Amino acid sequence: MDLELRRKWLNQQKELFGNSLYIESKINHDDSNIDLDLSTHKIKNCQKCSLGSSETNFVFGIGNPDADFVFIGEDLGKKEDLTGNPFIGESGKLLDKIMLAINLTQQNTYILNVLKCKTYNDIKLKSADVKQYKPYIKELIQFINPKLIIFLGEIIAQTVLNIKIPLNEIREKSYKYEGIDVLSTYHPAELLMNPKLKRPTWEDFKKIKSNYILELTS
């Protein structure tokens, strides 16, 4: 992550979210690592998609910006919107349990939602809203440069990968985004609504462990 990439990323935030950009960051420098604490970003006045007027807190990501694994979800829950952190509700607790089962934590992952504002009043998540954030996703992936991107949910996978097939078919195929391997699986909120999806989701996470985690630790 060189200085030019970092500058491009910050410029992208301004283009996406307007002139009011509030960032609390902690940067620790050493010879081999630049640790950027991005978990407390609060970006206001976001009107780039139809959801901007409904936000309580702008929700950024949590975890390690130098991570090998990036998880990207879709919409926010009420708790996420109120606290400004992603994946802290029941779906977040479930995701934590699944990740821990394959030795993943916030120390070796970065987790975020593609939408930074909650959909209120039964506003249905739209592919067009996700598309507004595709430049942001691209910059963020270039910034972190992980080994694997995990899309949590059908809409995020379809929109970013520019495909129309259903998630159960996407799961069985190999894709790359910006030259980086992609694995798509069900959002943990879907597992809470339909427990039958837990088994295929667990199979996906087992692939992460066998194909990436064991390789990185061997």
Identify the bridge partners of residue 197 per DSSP, sorted by sequence position: none
- Give the integer Cα–Cα distance in Å for 189 and 167: 15
Over residues 81-107, the pLDDT tens digits come to 445 455 667 888 999 999 999 999 988
For the domain 3-217, what is the CATH code? 3.40.470.10
Whether the predicted pLDDT of 196 surpasses 60: yes
* Percent of the chain whose pLDDT exceeds 70: 59
- The Cα-based distances of 155 to 69, 72, 164, 214 in angstroms read 20, 11, 9, 29
In angstroms, the Cα distances linking 139 to 6, 100, 104, 122, 163 are: 9, 28, 24, 30, 21
- For the ranges 49-53, 66-70, 194-198, 202-206, the lowest mean pLDDT is seen at 49-53
| Residue 12, pLDDT score | 57
pTM over 0.85: no
